[in-house]
Structure 1
């Protein structure tokens, strides 16, 4: 599915959402969730091809697979955190969305620690003394 089809589907969904929000707000939230999951599912193959390219580049550059895995986990947490936060906001739950974003940031920071430590250790090895 290309961007034109996604935009078309988004416009149709938006029109339905505008109508449903006035008459059946719960159905509007459900439609929004279904649309979001559909787009996310459709993009899985694109994400898989990006993953393949990143794995190949990592292999060619002889970089530790641990770093790629960590970066991919961080990207996954970021995407899923934003995805969930936006769904919460669409449902009118801004406070819940904020907590999801906060949790995602903390998890990202924890996941990034080994990479930060490895960078600092490399820098310390380069420094004289």
Structure 2
């Protein structure tokens, strides 16, 4: 199972980081960052499979693909912002990590405006005049 490989990689990295951290903290951070990136790259294939299934379901349900793509972009922004913030936190830069999270939230709001507008228009049409 893939999760065993990922957890194994994480455990090995953790042990190495604990050993290296006292002599070479920069190498420990780089090892942590590269491990996170390796795990992310390992999962990209799984992510593309999920996107393909969601696109197929959206086509069957006659959902406008613009909405699906926007939602997928929003999810991507959330994951990438969280991933980046965690790496920055590992480096001890809490304030920068917080700014990355704020930027992610603002970008999500910007991306969500068209969807929110369509929902509000649909609700207004349903209300009696």
TM-score class, shorter: over 0.9
- Per-residue deviation, 1:20: 1.3
Alignment match, 1:30: 30
Alignment match, 1:103: 103
1:5-20 aligned within 5 A: 5-20=5-20
Q: Does 1:120 align with 2:115?
A: no
Once residues 20 and 85 of structure 1 are traced to their aligned partners in structure 2, the CA distance between those partners, rounded to angstroms, is: 23
Q: Could you list the structure 1 runs, at least 4 aligned residues long, displaced by more than 6 angstroms after superposition.
A: none
Q: Does 1:82 align with 2:78?
A: no
- Per-residue deviation, 1:89: 0.2
- Per-residue deviation, 1:39: 0.3
Please give the root-mean-square deviation of Cα atoms over the aligned residues, in Å: 0.8
Note the residue ranges of structure 2 that are not aligned, 5 or more in a row. Answer: none
Alignment match, 2:56: 56
Once residues 102 and 21 of structure 1 are traced to their aligned partners in structure 2, the CA distance between those partners, rounded to angstroms, is: 30
Number of paired residues? 129
Structure 2 counterpart SS, 1:77: helix
The TM-score normalised by the length of structure 2 is 0.98
- Per-residue deviation, 1:68: 0.5
Q: Does 1:4 align with 2:4?
A: yes
Deviations 1:40-98 (A, max 9, x none): 00000100110001000100000000100100110110011001100000001111000
